[in-house]
Amino acid sequence: MPEVRVIKKYPNRRLYDTEISRYITLSDLKELVVSYCDFKVIEAKTGEDLTRCTLMQIIAEEEMNAQPLLTAEILKEFVRFYGDSMQAMMSRFLEHSIKHFMDKRAGLKSPLNTILGANPVSLMQNIAEQNIDSWQTRPSQQNKESLS
């Protein structure tokens, strides 16, 4: 199993890649994400894990450029979930949905699907329907488990 690449963040906000022994930019980190390279960003002095915070910086930069992925309405809904009793459930739901979407996306990119003419709209509809099914069946499963 490959080791996690360590990126140290210094007080001057510079990022140091310990694997290649040089400073890197957020753009370089984005390339690591895109290439599925496993890394961890830590604060150089304290060792605090700053990975999530740094990924949010990359997202914020990307949202400022070209066409944003997250609309203002989506972001407002995200803000509303912080502190809500359903926050943890929403986090798991989003993670599950994104993973499911990525699995389906990989199939959509296959040469066979290109030849057969796979339809991205039907793909999205299928994912939405599966998410709805998951939401509808999960509470009843949880209730059964809590009664046992």
pTM (2 d.p.): 0.69
More confident residue, 132 or 81: 81
- The 10s digit of each residue's pLDDT in 19-64 is 999 999 999 999 999 999 999 999 999 999 999 999 999 999 999 9
Mean pLDDT of all residues in the chain? 83
**Distance of CA 47 to CAs 8, 9, 26, 146, 147, Å?**
8, 9, 19, 39, 43
**What pLDDT does 1 receive?**
56
Q: Give residue 57's identity as a one-letter amino acid code.
A: Q
Give the start-to-end residue ranges of the domains of the chain.
5-64, 87-147
- The 10s digit of each residue's pLDDT in 79-103 is 999 999 999 999 899 999 899 888 8
With a pLDDT cut of 90, the percent of the chain lying above it is 51
